[in-house]
Structure 1
Amino acid sequence: MADLLDITEVTRMTGLTARALRFYEARGLLQPVRDSSGRRQYGTAQLEALHRIMAMKRAGLTLAQIQSMTAGPRPDLHSIVAAQIQVLEAREREVAAARELLASILSRIERNEPIDVATFCSLIRQGENAMSQVKLDALASQYMSAEQNLAFKEAVQALPADFDAEVHDRKWQALSARIKSALPLDPGSPAAQAFLDEWNELAAPYIAACSAEALKGVSNMHEHIEEWDREVDGPFDAEVFRFHQAAQRARDAMHGPADR
């Protein structure tokens, strides 16, 4: 094996994508050397760092936690153990939710009650919602302070009684799908600004209900969206969220920042 591998060889031999390698590099976790033509090269030190990143990721740690643990000269053992405990607690909640779902099915079977299509759909939906909530709770504990998390939960409870979160999410998903199909799009274009109007209208009920503390926590969580958007089935993904940010910056540049 050569002392240095180029990015194509690393992707072929590890199964990782070039996009993933560049992402870790952009986050400061991986520092490839460059050859005379500027092409990325990976040696023993870089591959050792990559192995460490992937091992921590498989252990359930977030990218933010990995960054924190690898920033100093030596790993922070306290942080590693605390993060692993958080992961285990999240898994415990997932298991508890799954057990509750299966128990409800078993109870019906034991009572010889028929399990019709509607019941199965209801149970599946309940299970999916439970899993989503478990994952959201785990995310909140990672990216929000306890005060911010509590403030956000209070904001959700303060939403109007006639607010239908499921209908709202479906509208947001539909908007996200339209945005994604239109990309790439100039953030300052009329089409992009029209999308921004729709987005801000959907965000308005939450913004109105949230305190400054809650908004700060939500903002921090979404600034790390690339780390978790594949783990949680939200109404929009990282690409669409970054487009929204770019469109808002374009509007602010044209008209000045506005309260939103």
Structure 2
Amino acid sequence: MKSSATSWSIGDTATRFGLPAHVLRHWEEVGLLRPGRDGGGRRRYGENDVVRIAAVLRNKAAGMSLEQIRVLLDQGAPDRHAILTEHVADLDRRMAEMQRSREMTMHAFECDQHDMTTCPNFVRSVEDLIGGGPWRSQPPPPA
């Protein structure tokens, strides 16, 4: 896995990414990392490991689970495209929700109504939720 003679300890590597060392150990346990070992058995992280850590962090920030990321980092994983297709659909859904939230926030910023819930434009923007969104899977409790 190592591509160069440069390597770092688990502490140095964790500090480099602002992570506790136990996170790197956990990622190794679940198959995301495979650091080399020195003569004393201590983990040594090389350039390839650092790239993998960066890939894990970037994908976690995008909402992927460690299992999804593990599949992406596994060269032989047959369901890589299915994971990516599912993730792109999730990103599209989340981006649309964020756009709606931004529009709602900008409207609240410019609206004359101090309480957003009294603004007819705001109420129209949440009608999809009021009308039976996923949170309405059970009837409301009695008042």
**Structure 1, unaligned runs of 5 or more:** 124-129, 138-149, 163-260
From 84, 87, 90, the counterpart of 1:86: 90
Query: In the superposition, relative to structure 1, how do residues 50 and 103 fare at CA in structure 2: closer, same or farther (>3 Å)?
Result: same
Number of corresponding residues: 129
Q: 1:161: which partner in 2? A: 142
TM-score between both structures, scaled by the size of structure 2: 0.63
State the alpha-carbon separation in 2 of the partners of residues 58 and 106 from structure 1: 31
Q: Map of 1:165-204 to 2, 5 A cutoff?
A: none
Q: 1:67: which partner in 2? A: 70
CA distances 1:199-257 after superposition (whole Å, capped 9, x unpaired) = xxxxxxxxxxxxxxxxxxxxxxxxxxxxxxxxxxxxxxxxxxxxxxxxxxxxxxxxxxx
Task: Answer yes or no: is the 8 Å Cα contact 1:33–1:41 preserved in 2.
Answer: yes
1:28 aligns with 2:9: no
Task: Answer yes or no: is the 8 Å Cα contact 1:5–1:42 preserved in 2.
Answer: yes
Identity %: 22
From 69, 94, 99, the counterpart of 1:95: 99
Q: Which segment drifts farther, 60-69 or 91-100?
A: 60-69
**Structure 2, unaligned runs of 5 or more:** 120-125
Q: 2:42: which partner in 1? A: 39
Query: In the superposition, relative to structure 1, how do residues 51 and 104 fare at CA in structure 2: closer, same or farther (>3 Å)?
Result: closer
Q: 2:123: which partner in 1? A: none
Q: CA deviation at 1:78?
A: 4.2
State the alpha-carbon separation in 1 of the partners of residues 54 and 109 from structure 2: 42
Q: Classify the secondary structure of the residue corresponding to 1:48.
A: helix
Task: Answer yes or no: is the 8 Å Cα contact 2:9–2:43 preserved in 1.
Answer: yes
Amino acid at match of 2:107: A
1:52 aligns with 2:69: no
Q: CA deviation at 1:11?
A: 2.4
Query: In the superposition, relative to structure 1, how do residues 161 and 72 fare at CA in structure 2: closer, same or farther (>3 Å)?
Result: farther
Q: Which segment drifts farther, 66-75 or 89-98?
A: 66-75
TM-score between both structures, scaled by the size of structure 1: 0.39
Q: CA deviation at 1:86?
A: 1.0
Query: In the superposition, relative to structure 1, how do residues 106 and 25 fare at CA in structure 2: closer, same or farther (>3 Å)?
Result: same
Taking only aligned residues, the RMSD between alpha carbons, in angstroms, comes to: 3.7
